[in-house]
């Protein structure tokens, strides 16, 4: 995006099955930063939505066993349908970046871990949101794979809320970390990228980094 600093739309989802062509969305979450990984909107504007279960939606046994609170939220009055989620996400991006640019290379960049999976679901279910995104993605997993080759014993611990706060001080986390919560996970991804930025090209990192 020549002439302007890109925005990163940190995004994560939870979904009903690992078979993405059959999966339905259960949760979406989004948080926008600048290229320095600083928030551009206050935390209360972040998007964190349970998605109403569609009629006949099949949940995998793993989801039923490991995400009971989320499944309950998807069956509760607080859950929203896909149109409402798409509208909320699009409005959130517009608040930070303005109306969608005509050129895709001037739009905010979708970012996260294994973000291609989330992008696949965005393409299926969230067209308004998709229309506001750059054609390129920032996938933290690429840095993770390189890091494991260089310093396998100094892995970033996304299960450690204090480590997340150390590298992303603006994080808003529950008292106890909730793995497989989209909002928690995207903040862990921001912190993880900050960890790699600080350490990946420096040989002095210790295993307790």
Model confidence over 19-35: pLDDT tens digits? 888 999 999 999 999 99
The pLDDT value recorded for residue 206 is 47
pLDDT-derived band at 154 (thresholds 50, 70, 90) equals confident
Q: Residue 1: which pLDDT band, with cuts at 50, 70 and 90?
A: very low
Domain with 182 in it: what CATH number? 3.30.420.10
Does the pLDDT value for residue 205 go beyond 80?
no
Statement: residue 208 has pLDDT above 90: no
Q: Is residue 1 part of a domain?
A: no
**DSSP SS3 for 88:** helix
Q: Is the pLDDT of residue 169 over 90?
A: yes
- Give the range among 54-58, 125-129, 145-149 with minimum mean pLDDT: 54-58
Q: Within a domain: residue 207?
A: no
In the block, residue with structure tokens 């739009």: 107
Q: How far apart are CA 18 and CA 21, in angstroms?
A: 9
pLDDT of 79 reads 98
Segments of the chain assigned E as strands: 7-15, 25-34, 47-50, 109-112, 137-139
In a domain, 82, yes or no: yes
Rounded-to-5 percentages of helix, strand, coil across the chain: 40, 15, 45
In a domain, 208, yes or no: no
- 128 lies in which domain range? 7-199
Does residue 205 lie in a domain region? no
Residue 99 lies in a domain: yes
Give the chain's domain count. 1
- Answer yes or no: is pLDDT of 151 > 90: no
Contact present, 113 and 91 (Cβ < 8 Å): no
Name the least confident of 9-23, 125-139, 167-181.
167-181
Percent of the chain past pLDDT 70, that is, above it, reads 91
User: According to the model, what pLDDT value does residue 55 have?
Assistant: 85
Neighbours of 53 (CB within 10 A): 17
Q: Is residue 2 part of a domain?
A: no
Query: Rounded to an integer, what distance in angstroms lies between the CA atom of residue 18 and that of residue 45?
Result: 29
Cα–Cα nearest to 185, from 83, 64, 67, 22 = 67
Report pLDDT digits (tens) over 84-117. 999 999 999 999 999 999 999 999 999 999 999 9
């Amino acid at each position: 995006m020549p002439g302007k600093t890109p925005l990163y739309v940190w995004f994560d989802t939870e979904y009903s099955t690992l078979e993405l062509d059959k999966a339905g969305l259960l949760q979406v979450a989004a948080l926008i930063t600048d290229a320095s990984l600083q928030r551009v909107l206050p935390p209360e504007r972040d998007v964190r939505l349970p998605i109403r279960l569609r009629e006949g939606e099949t949940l995998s046994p793993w989801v039923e066993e490991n995400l009971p609170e989320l499944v309950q939220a998807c069956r509760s009055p607080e859950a929203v349908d896909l149109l409402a989620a798409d509208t909320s996400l699009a409005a959130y991006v517009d608040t930070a970046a303005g109306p969608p640019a005509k050129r895709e290379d001037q739009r905010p960049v979708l970012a996260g871990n294994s973000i291609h999976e989330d992008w696949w679901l965005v393409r299926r279910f969230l067209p308004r949101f998709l229309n506001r995104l750059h054609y390129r993605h920032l996938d933290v997993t690429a840095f993770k794979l390189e890091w494991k080759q260089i310093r396998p014993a100094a892995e970033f611990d996304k299960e450690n809320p204090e480590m997340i706060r150390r590298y992303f001080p603006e994080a808003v986390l529950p008292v106890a970390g909730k793995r497989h919560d989209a909002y928690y996970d995207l903040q862990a991804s921001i912190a993880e990228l900050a960890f790699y930025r600080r350490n990946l090209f420096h040989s002095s990192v210790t295993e307790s980094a």
